[in-house]
Amino acid sequence: MRIDSARSDQLQEWESELSAQYQRICQHELSLDLTRGKPSADQLHLSDGLDGILNGDYRAADGTDTRNYGGLEGLQCARELGADILQVPTEEVMAAGNSSLTLMYHAVLTGYLFGFAGNTPWREMKSPKFLCPVPGYDRHFSICEQLGIGMVNVPMTATGPDMDAVEEQIRGDSEIIGIWCVPKFSNPTGVTYDKETVDRLAQLGQFANPGFRIFWDNAYAIHDLEHQVNLPGIREATHENDTGDSVLQFASTSKVTHAGAGLAFVSASEANLASLKKQMQAMTIGPDKVNQLRHSRFFGEFTLLREHMQKHAQILNPKFECVQSQLEKAFADTDLGTWEEPKGGYFVSFNTRPGCAAAVIQLAADAGVKLTPAGATFPYGKDPEDRNIRIAPSFPPLEELDTAMSVFVLCVKLASVRKQLG
């Protein structure tokens, strides 16, 4: 099916065939959901061994009684786990509670209210802004929106953010004070940044506002599907460029163990961590060290963590394959849409023809398949071209996913034909 070269009688014919198929599907009264980027119950079961693992022994290897207060930086063994995941030195890591998003929120708040490493607090600027590679993760954008920090879209490419656009923005506006990055298996495009992109990001600190920070949200650092994909190290790159203060890295075990009951990590230079701790110590005496010890005992060696992630991959692989094969089958030789083939992470990102995404999502909803709302992957919920749709294959059982994808591809075809007919 090629829409651009189709005559109008051909389009009419397709419209009636697809509408008939669509009506038949609507009669099935489906109730399926492709919005939830969370682990399935099978994946959660992989970590049920955490329960009771301490068996009354609450002391960490360094003698800390984990039941008691204290230790804002987290247990040493939990910091080591974070250091392994982020591939950074342990002394540069804080291990915290169950959410890296919370840590990111606190980090933005630190920059906004107090400034990092002695730099001007962002709230004292006329119009502080973050660069937002798009499509991106909606909750990053919500943090900026809530604090009144402006957002500037920059396009994502197959190798990371469009670095010409990033550099141009930063050279043209000294009030750009941050950029959101999901560098490995990006949410939602699944892209992993290449070496040139990482190097150019590491150089930004040489000419950006001194308070500028890269928010390196490595949420999918160890979430490879079939083969391990290498992400070039941002820490090494910033050290080579003398911009070590320009980056804050984040990770968590949310999609490793129990999503709502894991550990989160932040890694940064000594000066950045000092600023963050100053803000956080007014708010908490310390994290849940009992849970940190449970995680540390559960994994022991990093190789065990890698093996654990392979079990996740075995569950996720068929689901990602299902999405890819449905998209291939429906759209390989068409002009109806484009998509990436992620090698890990949690999402597949599909771009419809311009102006069709919202219609696809509405048609799917009416047929009983819930998709992430149109625009959700853009700041302020506005996709300027109305094209991007985020597909989250992890949660539904394979059979349901397959049915939901059949509805999805039908809705893409129908919306595209109708749009062309005008």
For ligand PLP, which is the closer residue by CB, 36 or 418?
Answer: 36
Stretch that binds ligand PLP, among 95-103, 157-165, 233-241, 285-293 (CB under 6 A): 95-103
Burial class (CB in 10 A: 0-12, 13-18, 19+), 283: exposed
Please report whether residue 219 would count as binding ligand PLP according to CB under 6 A: yes
Q: How far apart are CA 420 and CA 180, in angstroms?
A: 35
- Closest approach, Cβ 324 to ligand PLP, in A, equals 20
**Tokens linked to 206:** 């040489």
Half-sphere exposure of 409 (CA within 13 A, CB side): 20
Q: CA triplet 85, 106, 198: central angle to 5 degrees?
A: 45
**SS3 labels along 209-251:** CCCCEEEEECCCCCCECCCCCCCCCHHHHHHHCCCHHHEEEEE
Return the beta strands (E) in 26-148 as ranges.
32-33, 93-95, 129-134
Please report whether residue 252 would count as binding ligand PLP according to CB under 6 A: yes
The 3-state DSSP composition of the chain as helix, strand, coil percent (nearest 5) reads 45, 15, 40
- What is the rounded radius of gyration, in angstroms, for the C-alpha atoms of the chain? 23
Among 40, 47, 64, 100, binds ligand PLP (CB under 6 A): 100
Closest CA to 244 of 207, 208, 271, 266: 271
Stretch that binds ligand PLP, among 2-10, 72-80, 93-101, 407-415 (CB under 6 A): 93-101
For ligand PLP, which is the closer residue by CB, 106 or 195?
Answer: 106
For ligand PLP, which is the closer residue by CB, 95 or 359?
Answer: 95
Note whether 100 and 254 are within 8 A (CB). Answer: yes
Tell how many helices (H) and how many strands (E) occur in the chain.
13, 13
Among 25, 32, 34, 37, binds ligand PLP (CB under 6 A): 37
The residue count for binding ligand PLP (CB under 6 A) is: 12
- Closest approach, Cβ 372 to ligand PLP, in A, equals 12
Q: Which of residues 127-166 bind ligand PLP (CB under 6 A)?
A: 137
- Closest approach, Cβ 266 to ligand PLP, in A, equals 11
Please report whether residue 101 would count as binding ligand PLP according to CB under 6 A: yes
Please report whether residue 217 would count as binding ligand PLP according to CB under 6 A: yes
Q: Which of residues 166-185 bind ligand PLP (CB under 6 A)?
A: 182
Please report whether residue 99 would count as binding ligand PLP according to CB under 6 A: yes
- Closest approach, Cβ 255 to ligand PLP, in A, equals 7
Q: How far apart are CA 291 and CA 260, in angstroms?
A: 12
Stretch that binds ligand PLP, among 96-104, 203-211, 316-324, 412-420 (CB under 6 A): 96-104
For binding to ligand PLP (CB under 6 A), which residues are involved? 37, 99-101, 137, 182, 187, 217, 219, 252, 254, 264
